[in-house]
Structure 1
């Protein structure tokens, strides 16, 4: 499920929203009240149950062949999403909805060329009723996105953020504890320049 021209999407497990009102999300780093949405490129970040922790990586300009083969996998496409085994049943059974919103009230959020969301500071009415996204696993398959099941996300995430790949992670605070227990497990990370 992707937005059409002139649209952004908001994903939710609630199919009854009639008006999106700006608010400060409990998990947001930003302190301003926003209506949150995503464009075409970031829509796959939300093909998950809302609370599902996920780590994502993709090939971008400047990605080395070594990092692509090591993390995404040789011949495995340009993008990989990883979740933990404990979330597989929710991934199979959650009904997720997409709301199509007019793009005009929204502006990109994030560094230029690395925007991870679109935000509006005024109430936004959906263009129509919520649309079921469908089988979330099938969404990944149809988009050619590798969906990887792991016992623990942290070793994978640690490799991703020190690579030349683009990356994002959402709801990591819901992941199993880090095996070494020595790092911040509460943050949400968005695409950015990977530290070298």
Structure 2
């Protein structure tokens, strides 16, 4: 599930949103209210139940062969998304929806590279939300491996000190590092 040209996506488990109103996210580091969305490149980072903690890594220019083989795996594509075993049932059963939004209402957000798109005015979807479908199948179709781990923290510790690109979302929901 990716946006078409001129669109960005907002993923939600709520199929009844008629209007997106800027708000300050509970996990926000800034005080400005936004409507949040993602582009085609970032969409796979949101093919998860909303509260699911995930650690993601991908090959980028400058990634060493050693880091690629050690973290992504030899012959395993360009990207890996890791979740904890405890979230597998939710990955299989959550119904996720994609709302298509007009990209012209949004601006890129994030440094040093944009990782989201934000709007400061209310935004109405371009149409009804679309069910994303089988979240694991979305990953498979995109060539993204999903790795199941007992704990995200050892993987995360390796990823953040590597030459790979990476992102962690909802990590505060992961099992404690010492559990």
Aligned equivalents of 1:155 and 1:32: distance in 2?
34
Q: Name 2:157's counterpart in structure 1.
A: 158
SS in 2 for 1:99: strand
Q: How far 1:27 moved relative to its partner? A: 1.0
Q: How far 1:84 moved relative to its partner? A: 0.2
Task: Map 1:86-101 onto structure 2 (within 5 A).
Answer: 86-101=86-101
SS in 2 for 1:104: helix
Q: Name 2:54's counterpart in structure 1.
A: 54
Aligned equivalents of 1:129 and 1:158: distance in 2?
40
Aligned equivalents of 2:54 and 2:64: distance in 1?
23
Q: Name 2:168's counterpart in structure 1.
A: 169
Aligned equivalents of 2:7 and 2:30: distance in 1?
23
Aligned equivalents of 2:91 and 2:66: distance in 1?
30
Aligned equivalents of 1:27 and 1:77: distance in 2?
31
2:83 aligned with 1:83: yes
Q: How far 1:30 moved relative to its partner? A: 1.9
Aligned equivalents of 1:38 and 1:28: distance in 2?
16
Q: Name 1:2's counterpart in structure 2.
A: 2
SS in 2 for 1:26: coil
TM-score by length of 1: 0.90
Q: Name 2:68's counterpart in structure 1.
A: 68
Q: How far 1:31 moved relative to its partner? A: 1.1
Q: Name 2:124's counterpart in structure 1.
A: 125
Q: How far 1:78 moved relative to its partner? A: 0.2
| Unmatched 5+ stretches in structure 1 | 182-196
Task: Map 1:30-49 onto structure 2 (within 5 A).
Answer: 30-49=30-49
Across the aligned residues of Structure 1 and Structure 2, the Cα RMSD in angstroms comes to 0.8
SS in 2 for 1:158: helix
| Unmatched 5+ stretches in structure 2 | none
What number of residue pairs does the alignment pair up?
179
